[in-house]
Structure 1
Amino acid sequence: MSETQPDPQQTDEPVTPVLTAKQAKRANATVIGMLIATGLTLALCLVPVLLNPAPKMQARNVDVAAAANQAAGDAGYQPLALELPDGWSANYARWNAGTNDGVPNWEVGYVTPDTEFISLTQTNAANPTWIFEHSGNSTVSGERPAGGVSWELRDSSNKDSTLVAEIDGQTVILTGSADLAEFDVLAEHVVRELRSN
């Protein structure tokens, strides 16, 4: 048996391919083309998104008074059914039995004349934890007088504002994206209605 002699031209070092200038240009053209195609696709997808503005709150004109009268028996108090100025409308009104958080409450969603939103929540069984959670985990930033009552003003991380007040044994929370002047209008009507009952 004869031994094979190693080929002096073979080495253990890996061979590194060398691209010619034309090959390198073709390889880069594929990557550049892919990037251009991806950019154009993204641009085409963004055009419809940018051309469609975010939807504004839609008015539904819910009969709040009828819903409040229906909820009054369960609530043990008269839920608020406010007579607001022209331009205001309600898009929902509901009684929450408190099965999830232990605090039964009345809720109404209002669309303001500027088509912003403010939710009204009313209860006679509030506690500090529930208020904190129901006001979007917002922090107290001051006080705001409205309707002859000093409301606690809270600000949240999502830029919504919240007003909280206890009026004649009822806790009322107003939360939404509207301007504070519109909050004042709603707060004044809340105080007037609660004090007239």
Structure 2
Amino acid sequence: MAGSSAGKTKTVRDMVLSMAVIGAVVAVIYIFIPHDESATPVKPVNSAELKAALSTASRAASYPVLAPKGLDKDWKATSVRYRGADDEHWHLGFHGPDGKYVAVEQTTGKPGPFIADQSQDAKDTGKTERIGGKDWKRYEGDEYDALVLQEDGATTVVTGSGSMARLTEVAGSLRPAPADKV
């Protein structure tokens, strides 16, 4: 019996030593491999991909597809897609200069469920904002706020974790994308 106790002690000691060696290797890698902790893990969409998606959506959609024009270079497009199917959903997401998320969402689908989904259940405040000569409804929520415009058979939602000032900045920059060239 004494032999089995000595074997267990040796096994535990070997396991502790192995863990110490692994920990040391991880520490060395962490210290000597360069990393930027302030860098954002967001991967921007390249301009060719953005232009192609915008061109495709603007040709296919039954409504004027809106995209920002003239935003500061600190705005980084992070996601873009168009789903034609039944609701013609256009999406363009941004990482703003303040590190917050702002998205432009458009659809011909049912406005109520679309607004609730895209704004993460933000509620209509009953207020409107005059932006770019149009009246946008203001929504406020726990996670996201939103500005909503309904025209030309589509619902446009500018939403995200960005401030209302950032949402207004994006809404004010929206312009119809030409279908023939972008």
Q: Does the TM-score normalized on the shorter chain lie above 0.5?
A: yes
Structure 1 residue 115 corresponds to structure 2 residue 99: yes
Measured after TM superposition, the shift of residue 86 of structure 1 is 2.2
Query: Which letter maps to 1:87?
Result: D
**Structure (1 or 2) with the greater strand fraction:** 2
Which residue of structure 2 aligns with residue 76 of structure 1? 62
Separation in 2, partners of 1:69, 1:195: 7
Measured after TM superposition, the shift of residue 67 of structure 1 is 0.9
Which residue of structure 2 aligns with residue 188 of structure 1? 172
Bigger relative CO (Cα 8 Å, ≥ 6 apart): 2
Match for 2:77 among 90, 110, 132? 90
Measured after TM superposition, the shift of residue 91 of structure 1 is 0.7
Measured after TM superposition, the shift of residue 82 of structure 1 is 2.4
The structure-2 alpha-carbon separation of the partners of 1:56 and 1:145, relative to structure 1 and needing over 3 Å to count, comes to farther
TM-score in terms of structure 2 length: 0.64
Q: CA RMSD in A?
A: 2.8
3-state secondary structure, aligned to 1:157: coil
Measured after TM superposition, the shift of residue 128 of structure 1 is 2.4
Query: Which letter maps to 1:185?
Result: E
Structure 1 residue 153 corresponds to structure 2 residue 138: yes
Do 1:152 and 1:164's aligned partners in 2 also have CA atoms closer than 8 Å?
A: yes
Which residue of structure 2 aligns with residue 127 of structure 1? 111
**Mind listing any 5+ residue stretches in structure 2 that lack a counterpart?**
1-36
**Mind listing any 5+ residue stretches in structure 1 that lack a counterpart?**
1-52
Do 1:62 and 1:92's aligned partners in 2 also have CA atoms closer than 8 Å?
A: no
Structure 1 residue 62 corresponds to structure 2 residue 46: yes
Measured after TM superposition, the shift of residue 56 of structure 1 is 4.7
Larger Rg: 1
TM-score in terms of structure 1 length: 0.59
3-state secondary structure, aligned to 2:166: helix
> Post-superposition, which runs of at least 4 consecutive aligned residues in structure 1 deviate over 6 A?
none
The structure-2 alpha-carbon separation of the partners of 1:194 and 1:69, relative to structure 1 and needing over 3 Å to count, comes to closer
